[in-house]
Amino acid sequence: MSEAGILVFGATGALGRHVLDALVVRGTSPETITAAGRNQVRIGELASAGFGTAAVDLSDSAGVADLVARHSDIVLISGRDPDRLAQHESVIEAARNAGVRHVYYTSGVRADDDRFEINADHRATENALIASGVTYTILRNTWYIENYIQALAGPRFTGVLAAATGDAVVAAASRKDLAEALAAVVTTDGHDNVTYSLSGDKNFTYADIAQAMAVVLNREVTYRPVTPDELRAALIGSGMDGELAGFLAGLDETIAAGVFARVGDDLSRLIGRPTTGLVEGLTAE
């Protein structure tokens, strides 16, 4: 049987940083948490702050299994590697073999809807986790507000937010909100074998996003809908690699199809307060 303690995979990433903070705020001692990741600089900072740490690549199945076997609770923050599904399955297999108490997985909103290819890895991971027999909690995260921070660059100079999202709405939420929800689930009872769908409190249109950008940038910003082909051509014209430009245009099409529209109030209920608004989220660190 695994030893006591929480193992957080993905702890050195943007969401992981907030998860560690939220766990500590809720009374979890840093020394009972092992922060696992690949960013060696961040690992050193976390060690100095009193956390247990482990430098690990999720592709190292043997190393993953050894690490998992020494903990009772596993937080698996979904990765972004091309082979992330295999990595996730490796963690789940290790958890099953070690008899861990609980696995918490950050999935994607509407992961059970096979219309959205963006969630294929999440859907397969969820299925593997449920089939493993390990007690689980799945948190299906919505689109991050912070994803629009990088998109401020264009409107800063042009005053235009161009996107191939049509009339889409996005119930985006901040990473901090989503991390607080995860920490709440990890530190309280009643979440065994439950799936939560986490969305912001309201649907934002891209006109709303442009208006929030205008506040942050202190200049007028308008939303200009474009076609996927127009967006792809514009990105390539700006010097972007064609493959990446195609991916981003395709992502906008997925957003336009409604994948990130609001799905309920699980997020605000778990964190015990309204979710973060656009302006605050766009100025988050």
Residue 142: what residue type?
T
- Are 199 and 142 within 8 A, CB to CB? yes
Mean pLDDT of 257-268: 97
Global confidence as pTM: 0.95
From CA 134, how far away is CA 240, in angstroms rounded?
43
- In this structure, what DSSP letter does residue 173 have? B
Residue 145: what residue type?
I
- Tens digit of each residue's pLDDT (9 = 90 or more) over 6-28: 999 999 999 999 999 999 999 99
Task: Judge whether residue 75 has pLDDT over 70.
Answer: yes
Domains and CATH numbers, the chain: 6-141 (3.40.50.720), 146-170+201-263+272-282 (3.90.25.10)
- Identify the band that residue 1 occupies on the pLDDT scale cut at 50, 70 and 90: very low
- Tens digit of each residue's pLDDT (9 = 90 or more) over 174-221: 999 999 999 999 999 999 999 999 999 999 999 999 999 999 999 999
The CA-based dihedral angle spanning residues 143, 79, 16, 163, taken in that order and rounded to the nearest 10 degrees? -30
Task: Judge whether residue 259 has pLDDT over 70.
Answer: yes
- Measured in whole angstroms, the distance separating CA 117 from the mean position of its chain's CA atoms is 17
- Are 259 and 150 within 8 A, CB to CB? no
CA distances from 117 to 112, 170, 250 (A): 11, 17, 10
Task: Judge whether residue 111 has pLDDT over 90.
Answer: yes
CA distances from 276 to 8, 57, 167, 267 (A): 24, 32, 22, 11
At 147 the pLDDT is 94
From CA 88, how far away is CA 59, in angstroms rounded?
9
At 2 the pLDDT is 47
Residue 81: what residue type?
D
- Tens digit of each residue's pLDDT (9 = 90 or more) over 127-181: 999 999 999 999 999 999 999 998 999 999 999 999 999 999 999 999 999 999 9
- Identify the band that residue 285 occupies on the pLDDT scale cut at 50, 70 and 90: low
Which residues lie below 8 Å from residue 1, measured CB to CB, with a gap of 6+? 98, 99
